[in-house]
Amino acid sequence: MEIRILDPHLPFVEVDQAFTAAGWHGGATVAIPPLVAGEPEFAAWRRRGTVVRYDADPVVWLRALRIDGPEPVPDLPRLNAAGIAVLLDGPDRAGRLLGVLAIGELGLIDPALLAKVRRLATQGDPLVAPASRAVLRSAAAR
């Protein structure tokens, strides 16, 4: 399974439109109203045996695509290592947490990124530090 972390500024409607335009079937899976109007936490699309699952954490805008199958999916803006590094070094707490969580989701073991995560793990932020420690434990287990 391939995991992609989408750009946090990309609205769900654009994600859904890209999949629909490319011939995928599906969309938002809403059992209860989303925390942010128009931004569902879950969605899924299918095409020729390939399934793409979308989940979003509206607190930090961590948006993940989980691709299971060989069909090509729309090329949407996503976070790469350079973008994650900017988040980790940024002044915004939510951005730092997003960067840490993105590393965990992607299973990145980039030494430069992990050095930044180590720094965050030793700082006293009650949200970012524990998440950083968890990512470091996971990276060490790989």
Task: Provide DSSP, the chain.
Answer: -EEEEEPTTS-HHHHHHHHHHTT-EEEE--SS--SBTTB-SEEEEEETTEEEEEEEETTTTEEEEEEESSS------B--HHHHHHHHHSS-HHHHHHHHHHHHHHT---HHHHHHHHHHHHS--TTHHHHHHHHHHHHHT-
Q: Write down the mean pLDDT value for the chain.
A: 94
| Mean pLDDT of the 62-76 span | 97
DSSP 119-138: HHHHS--TTHHHHHHHHHHH
User: What span, in angstroms and rounded, lies between the C-alpha atoms of 99 and 95?
Assistant: 6
List pLDDT tens digits, range 79-116.
Answer: 999 999 999 999 999 999 999 999 999 999 899 999 99
- Is residue 38 scored above 90 in pLDDT? no
User: What span, in angstroms and rounded, lies between the C-alpha atoms of 113 and 26?
Assistant: 35
| Mean pLDDT of the 59-79 span | 96
User: What span, in angstroms and rounded, lies between the C-alpha atoms of 83 and 80?
Assistant: 5
Residue with tokens 């030494």: 111
DSSP 30-44: -SS--SBTTB-SEEE
